């Protein structure tokens, strides 16, 4: 079996969730990054739908970011232990996708769409995460141990910070404290210090 490899563009985008899962689990992996203009034909040929991220480990070939993350979350014990745990964790993961997708459409949808995103979507999602963190003791968004939901939420906050969107979390101390604590988890801290710096 070869080293786990993530094939993706040189951005956080849809690939950082997988990188964070592997980093948290302390799995050595190849972070195969390339420019948009230099998407290697041999990587495209491996993908299931022509797009990246794509994950390979010599035994498994898998495309679609959420499927890759779900596979790794299960493999490394980060997907709870009951059907309800899995559904709750997925629910938090999808809420982070709602923010990303909302942001993407708002940025391309003009001033009114952007204002609606900042005034409605952001407070609705951030206040839900804030309440869930407070109700659950602050260290985990769901359950009492680290899960994919924590890594997904951390990755989302981390990404928004890296593009200068700290303002979204003003007035949400539990989210800020969660981000701080997660950044100090040893394997995550090690990854954050050594990862390639990207602006998106």
Ligand X SMILES: N[C@@H](CCC(=O)N[C@@H](CS)C(=O)NCC(=O)O)C(=O)O
Q: Which positions touch ligand X (CB under 6 A)? A: 13-14, 51-53, 64-65
Smallest gap from residue 51 Cβ to ligand X (A)? 3
CB of 70 to ligand X, least distance (A): 11
Cα separation, 146 vs 162, whole angstroms: 23
54-56 and 61-63 strand pairing: antiparallel
Q: Cβ of residue 72: shortest distance to ligand X, in angstroms?
A: 14
Look at residues 52, 33, 16, 5 and name the one whose alpha carbon lies nearest to residue 163: 16
Cα gap 81→69, rounded to integer Å: 16
Nearest distance from C-beta of residue 199 to ligand X, angstroms: 15
Report helix, strand or coil for 31: strand
Separation CA 175–CA 169 (nearest Å): 7
Interatomic CA distance for residues 107 and 116, integer angstroms: 11
Least distance CB 119 / ligand X (angstroms) = 27
| Nearer residue to ligand X within complex by CB, 187 or 198 | 198
CB closer to ligand X, 13 vs 143: 13
Task: Tell me whether residue 9 or residue 178 sits nearer to ligand X (CB atom).
Answer: 9
Q: For residues 118, 165, 185 and 193, what is the CA-based torsion angle, rounded to 10 degrees?
A: 160
- 5 vs 25: CA distance, rounded Å: 14
**Quick one: 47 or 147, whose CB is closer to ligand X?**
47
Least distance in angstroms from the C-beta of 53 to ligand X: 5
Residue among 65 and 121 whose Cβ is closer to ligand X: 65
Between 53 and 155, whose beta carbon lies closer to ligand X? 53
């Amino acid at each position: 079996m070869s080293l786990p490899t993530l094939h993706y563009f040189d951005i956080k985008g849809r690939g950082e969730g997988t990188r964070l899962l592997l980093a948290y689990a302390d799995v050595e992996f190849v972070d195969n990054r390339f420019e948009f203009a230099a998407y290697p034909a041999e990587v495209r040929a491996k993908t299931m739908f022509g797009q990246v991220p794509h994950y390979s480990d010599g035994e498994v070939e898998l495309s679609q970011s959420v499927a890759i993350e779900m596979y790794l979350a299960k493999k490394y014990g980060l997907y709870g232990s009951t059907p309800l745990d899995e559904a709750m964790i997925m629910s938090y993961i999808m809420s982070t996708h709602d923010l990303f997708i909302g942001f993407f459409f708002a940025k391309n949808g003009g001033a009114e769409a952007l204002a609606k995103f900042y005034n409605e979507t952001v407070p609705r999602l951030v206040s839900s995460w804030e309440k869930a963190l407070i109700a659950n003791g602050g260290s985990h968004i769901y359950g009492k141990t680290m899960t994919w939901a924590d890594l997904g939420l951390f990755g989302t906050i981390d990404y928004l910070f890296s593009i200068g969107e700290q303002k979204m979390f003003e007035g949400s101390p539990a989210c800020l404290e969660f981000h701080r604590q997660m950044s100090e988890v040893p394997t995550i801290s090690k990854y954050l210090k050594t990862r390639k710096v990207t602006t998106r």
